[in-house]
A and B are shown apart, each in its own frame.
Chain A
Amino acid sequence: MIPSETLTALIAGLLAADAASVANPVACKVGLIVANFTPTIDLLMADLVISADTGLVAIAGVPGSQLESIDPDTGELIVEVKTPAGGFRWETPIGFTGPVTIFGYALGNNAMTTLWGTQRLDPPLTLTDPNQAHTAPVLQFRIDPNKIT
Chain B
Amino acid sequence: MTPTLALLVRLQIVFRTYIMSQLTAPGWNLVLLKAAFTPSKDLVIGDVTLDPEMGAFPLAITDSVHFTGRDPATGDLVIWLAAGAGVELLMSSDATPRQEFGWAIVETGTFAIIASKLMPAPQQVSSTDDGILNPEIGFHLPMNLMR
Asked whether, in the complex, the Cβ of B2 is within 8 Å of the Cβ of A4, the reply is no
Q: B139 — which chain A residues lie within 8 A by C-beta?
A: 1, 3, 148-149
* 20 extra A-B contacts, CB within 8 A, seeds A143-B11, A149-B139: A1-B137, A1-B139, A8-B41, A14-B15, A14-B17, A15-B10, A15-B11, A17-B14, A18-B11, A20-B13, A21-B7, A41-B3, A41-B5, A81-B1, A115-B4, A118-B2, A119-B1, A147-B141, A147-B142, A148-B140
Q: Does B143 contact A (CB under 8 A)?
A: yes
| Interface residues in A11-32 (C-beta closer than 8 Å to B) | 11, 14-15, 17-18, 20-22
Q: Does A96 contact B (CB under 8 A)?
A: no
8 Å CB contact of B14 from A18, A40, A107: A18
Q: B15 — which chain A residues lie within 8 A by C-beta?
A: 11, 14
Contact with B along A120-137 (1 / 0, CB 8 A): 000000000000000000
- Complex Cα distance, B42 from A149, in Å, reads 14
Asked whether, in the complex, the Cβ of A2 is within 8 Å of the Cβ of B115, the reply is yes
- Complex Cα distance, B7 from A20, in Å, reads 10
Top 3 A-B residue pairs of the complex, sorted by shortest distance between their CB atoms = A39-B2, A117-B1, A1-B115
Q: Does B146 contact A (CB under 8 A)?
A: yes
Closest residue of chain B to A117, judged by CB?
Answer: B1
Q: Closest approach, in angstroms, between the C-beta of B114 and any C-beta of chain A?
A: 6
Q: A142 — which chain B residues lie within 8 A by C-beta?
A: 146-147
Q: Does A10 contact B (CB under 8 A)?
A: yes
Q: B25 — which chain A residues lie within 8 A by C-beta?
A: none
How many B residues, CB 8 Å from partner?
39
- Complex Cα distance, B1 from A81, in Å, reads 10
- Complex Cα distance, B10 from A20, in Å, reads 8
Q: Does A146 contact B (CB under 8 A)?
A: yes
Q: Given the interface contacts A117-B4, A140-B1, does A6 sit within 8 Å of B112 by beta carbon?
A: yes
Asked whether, in the complex, the Cβ of A116 is within 8 Å of the Cβ of B18, the reply is no
Asked whether, in the complex, the Cβ of B138 is within 8 Å of the Cβ of A1, the reply is yes
Q: B114 — which chain A residues lie within 8 A by C-beta?
A: 3-4, 6-7
Asked whether, in the complex, the Cβ of A14 is within 8 Å of the Cβ of B14, the reply is yes
Q: B5 — which chain A residues lie within 8 A by C-beta?
A: 41-42
Asked whether, in the complex, the Cβ of A145 is within 8 Å of the Cβ of B14, the reply is no
Q: Closest approach, in angstroms, between the C-beta of B139 and any C-beta of chain A?
A: 6
Q: B145 — which chain A residues lie within 8 A by C-beta?
A: 143-144, 147-148
Q: Closest approach, in angstroms, between the C-beta of B90 and any C-beta of chain A?
A: 21
Q: Given the interface contacts A15-B14, A145-B41, does A1 sit within 8 Å of B4 by beta carbon?
A: no
Closest residue of chain B to A38, judged by CB?
Answer: B2
